């Protein structure tokens, strides 16, 4: 049997402070808020942010430790039009850049890594 996967729906990231993370993902990265909810019985707050046809879900649990950076999600990748411009803007905003300059891979694609507010690893990708 083969499952017919249509597309990636969302990637969930557990964060310490939802407000701080929304400031980063919306303010710094320019993503758009789709939905925001609280689930009191589970003691969590969450927000869904639009990324093209996919979404990023930010989840803040009350009194639950955050997994380490070595957890099962290695990184999330976001496509940009101009990676050099994106890195310059992020640097001005004080974002922690793992790569000051993009790396070329596969001969025609450029990538660079940065860290989000909870040290989550984010890859920027520029495709031809």
Domains and CATH numbers, the chain: 1-64 (3.10.180.10), 75-128 (3.10.180.10)
**Alpha carbons 57 and 127: distance in angstroms, whole number:** 24
Tokens 């990636």 identify what position? 8
What is the spatial distance between Cα 113 and Cα 9, in angstroms, rounded to a whole number? Answer: 22
Q: How many CA atoms lie within 13 A of 91 on its CB side?
A: 13
Q: Indicate the SS3 state at residue 34.
A: strand
pLDDT in tens, the chain (128 residues): 575 666 777 998 989 899 999 999 999 999 999 999 998 888 999 999 999 989 999 999 988 877 666 565 778 989 999 999 999 999 999 999 999 999 998 788 999 999 999 888 899 999 88
Separation of alpha carbons 103 and 83, rounded Å: 10
Query: CA-to-CA distance for 112 and 48, rounded, in angstroms?
Result: 24
Taking the model in full, what pTM does it have?
A: 0.77
């Amino acid at each position: 049997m083969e499952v017919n996967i249509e597309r990636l729906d969302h990637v969930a990231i557990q964060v310490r402070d939802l407000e701080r993370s929304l400031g980063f993902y919306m303010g710094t990265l320019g993503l758009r808020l789709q939905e925001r909810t609280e689930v009191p019985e589970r003691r969590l707050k969450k927000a869904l942010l639009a990324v093209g046809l996919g979404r990023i879900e930010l989840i803040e649990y009350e009194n639950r430790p955050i997994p380490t950076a070595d957890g099962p999600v290695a990184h999330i990748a976001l496509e940009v039009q101009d990676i050099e411009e994106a890195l310059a803007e992020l640097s001005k905003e004080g974002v922690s850049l793992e790569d000051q300059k993009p790396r070329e891979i596969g001969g025609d694609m450029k990538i660079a890594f940065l860290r989000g507010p909870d040290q989550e690893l984010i890859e920027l990708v520029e495709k031809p």
